[in-house]
Amino acid sequence: MADDFRMITKDYIERLIEQFAQALKALLKARQEQRPEEAHRLIRETALATLGMEYSVLTMADAASTARLLGHPQRVVVLARLVAEEGELLSEQGEGARAGLRWGLALELFLEARELGASLAGEDARVFEGLRRRVAPSLLSERHQQLLARH
């Protein structure tokens, strides 16, 4: 029974990662081709398709609450990547202040994912490190400042 659950979970996570990778590829293409409306739409659609919830709902609460709601570290990583991409998109549109807020939330989400047991590798690790360099720790919540200091 436990083995069946592990297999189902593994299959789900593998499908989640594959679906997210395809969506991210389309999102990056839309950004490169300077189609911001399509990129924003893809962010919303990807959140709904991969995480089963509206993007605006997932980004309205604090990172710790959202991580608990999502429940699995890989789901939190997916959201963190989407939020980081939205930050990039906003920055490209000249909305630096809004981009900064999104990057802060993305960093907090990555920290929450790590607390849930995620080990960041590859592109996830690269995005996380970029956010660490980009976001001043003082802009994070006290909890996330502490988590950042530990990692």
Q: Where are the alpha helices (DSSP H) in the chain?
A: 2-32, 36-51, 55-58, 63-70, 73-92, 96-115, 122-134, 142-150
56 in Cβ contact with 99 (< 8 Å) = no
* pLDDT reading at 33 higher than 70: yes
pLDDT, mean over the chain = 89
pLDDT mean over 114-143: 96
Per-residue pLDDT tens for 73-119?
999 999 999 999 999 999 999 999 999 999 999 999 999 999 999 99
Instruction: Provide the residue ranges of all domains of the chain, joining segments of one domain with +.
Output: 2-150
Q: Please tell me the predicted confidence (pLDDT) of residue 8.
A: 54
pLDDT mean over 52-65: 96
Write b or e for each residue in 103-116: b if 16 or more Cβ atoms lie within 10 A of its Cβ, otherwise e.
bbbbbbbbbbbbbb
